[in-house]
Amino acid sequence: MSLLCTRLVALLACVIVAVVSANDEISGELVEQKLQIHPAGLEGDKYVVKANKAFRIACVYNDEDMENVHQLQWVNEDGKEIDTASSPNLFTIALHERGTHHKKRSLVFSKINSRDSGTYTCVANVNGEVTRRSIHVHIVGNIEWNEPRDVVGAMVGEPLTIDCGAKGNPSPEIEMTNEEGELLNDLADTYVVVDNEVTIDHLSKEYQNNKVRCLALQHIAEYATTSVEKHEITIDVWYEPEFETKEVNRHAIMGRSANIYCNVSSSNPPVSHFHFFKGTDEIDRDDETYEIIEDFESQTAVLKILSVDEEDLGTYRCEVNNGKAKSHQQIHLHTANPPNQVRVSLERARKHSITWRLVEDGSAEDEDLPVISYTIEYVRSQLLDDVDSSEEEPALNNEKLHRAEESVWKSHGSHVVRTKNPENLYEITGLVQNAEYVFRFSAQNEAGSGDSIEITARTHSEHHEELTAFSTCNIPSITLMLFLTWFFFRI
């Protein structure tokens, strides 16, 4: 009989345990429905967080019966409430969930560290019913990389080794990939991998800006997860400054200023110093006969000779340095003639534009430099007509008048520089209808600019087609000729 009673008691105990377990499961499901944690963690609401990072997690009360957000709180392992001002590094923020407007309280670690590891519980107290949901935070210490730099470099032709080794707790395993995620162990033709180091035996420009990704994998056994930290290193390939050609010829006009250009076509790092030499002597930047202008953004420098004489002709050397290597370019300065006065003819005129035909003077000699561009200046003739001369001596009047006219050209005139084209036609647009303009033309070659010529012309007042000039000249009487041509045309 006693044996039977013992068995009945044991059976009843099993039933009670089963019922309690079932109730616990139902209760757990209800808690998860009532209190939702965002973002979701690992199984069992576990979170693995890197030290010294910001970490934020929200607890949402997923029902309408909570009247005040203060009914929702976070507490630590000691049951101490974490409010909006607990500490600068740990506090909570009370909000309403977007869309549903359910009450929400976020737990915020502005800079989490190892002492923040532990259990945190979200507590909801509604109508005397208390609901809790806990999370478990595990802090993983920072990885200490053997190579902390984000960019490493070496000269072209030299070997480059990148150390991806790292220290941490737990001790990390290291993997190395390129930026596409391919393991460097599988790219033996490009990289040599030994332990945690990757080497390029012979660096070339093709490696510029290639990236090596160092991955530190830390296995967290108690959470059955792995923490991965990435350190991306960019390869910087250094090489000496380069020029399109190592030796160039430049030309200058005696008595005029001349520019000797030093243009670096490519350099890594960018050039940081320019130096000019004449023979073996460096040109002094304080020498008043020269001016040195540097533009590091465009990697260009100009040696300006203010007035060229015989002693300025010869060979110059521009030496450049980028902090890793230096190189130079030789510039041979020769004398040359300016272009002859340009030959101009009116091709056509319209309401708001005039087209000119510009050609080189046929008397140019074979050794003269070719014309490369034309400068076309223009101004309303009325502005020049309004310039009055003084009552002083004629010679002084002419000088003063010239200065006054040049002031008008400078303040009211427009100018364009047009590269020489095969058709020799150059259209000036944006002119005022039925207005008279004075045009000034000059030709440029590599050495400088030729003498200018002035011509007066008028735009149309009607919709009829253009006037074509039938003659060309380069003498001052062309102004009168064009005026008469326009006069008879308009009649």
How far is the C-alpha of 280 from the C-alpha of 291, rounded, in Å?
Answer: 19
Other CB atoms closer than 10 Å to residue 128's CB: what's the count?
A: 5
Identify the CA nearest to 408 among candidates 433, 441, 382, 376.
Answer: 382
Which residues, 6 or more positions from 352, have their beta carbon under 8 angstroms from its beta carbon?
429, 430, 431, 432, 433, 459
Which domains, from first to last, does the chain contain? 32-140 (2.60.40.10), 144-240 (2.60.40.10), 243-335 (2.60.40.10), 343-490 (2.60.40.10)
DSSP for 312-342, written as a single string: G-EEEEEEEE-SS-EEEEEEEEEE-PPPPPP
Sheet strands (E) in 296-435: 300-305, 314-321, 326-335, 343-349, 353-359, 373-380, 414-419, 425-429
Is 14 exposed, middle or buried, given 0-12, 13-18 or 19+ CB atoms closer than 10 A? exposed
Q: Give the chain's residues under pLDDT 50.
A: 1, 4-5, 8-9, 13-26, 389-391, 396, 467-491
Residue 12 identity = L
Going from the C-alpha of 61 to that of each of 25, 40, 67, the distances in angstroms are 20, 15, 11
Are 253 and 306 in contact by the 8 Å Cβ rule? The answer is no
Cis amide bond preceding 172, omega within 30: no
* pTM confidence score: 0.65
Q: What local confidence, expressed as pLDDT, does residue 291 receive? A: 96
What pLDDT, on the 0 to 100 scale, is given for residue 477?
Answer: 39
Which helix (H) or strand (E) segment holds residue 16: the answer is helix 2-34
- Quote the CA–CA distance of 24 and 16 in Å, as a whole number: 12
Q: Is 134 helix (H, G, I), strand (E, B) or coil?
A: strand
Residue 226 has a pLDDT of 86
Tell me, what amino acid is at 236? D
Secondary structure class of 131 (helix, strand, coil): strand
Which is nearest to 116 in space by CA: 126, 124, 104, 108?
108
In this prediction, residue 95 carries a pLDDT of 87
Write down the pLDDT at residue 399: 80
pLDDT for the residue numbered 487: 37
| Separation CA 290–CA 315 (nearest Å) | 16
What is the reported pLDDT for 100?
A: 80
Residue pair 247/329 in contact by the 8 Å Cβ criterion: yes
Amino acid at site 391 = E
Q: Which residue has the tokens 């020269």?
A: 290
Specify the length of the chain in residues: 491
Read off the DSSP letter of residue 5.
H
Model pLDDT, residue 265: 97
- Listed in sequence order, the DSSP H helices in 266-380 are none
C-alpha 90/C-alpha 88 separation (Å) is: 6
What per-residue confidence (pLDDT) applies to 51? 87
The string of pLDDT tens digits covering residues 399-439 is 888 888 899 999 999 999 999 999 999 999 999 999 999 99
**Residues 464 and 355 sit within 8 Å (Cβ to Cβ):** no
Could you give phi then psi for residue 433, rounded to 5 degrees? Answer: -65, 140
What's the rounded Cα separation, in Å, for the pair 449 and 429?
24
SS3 content of the chain, % helix, strand, coil (to 5): 20, 45, 40
Burial class (CB in 10 A: 0-12, 13-18, 19+), 429: exposed
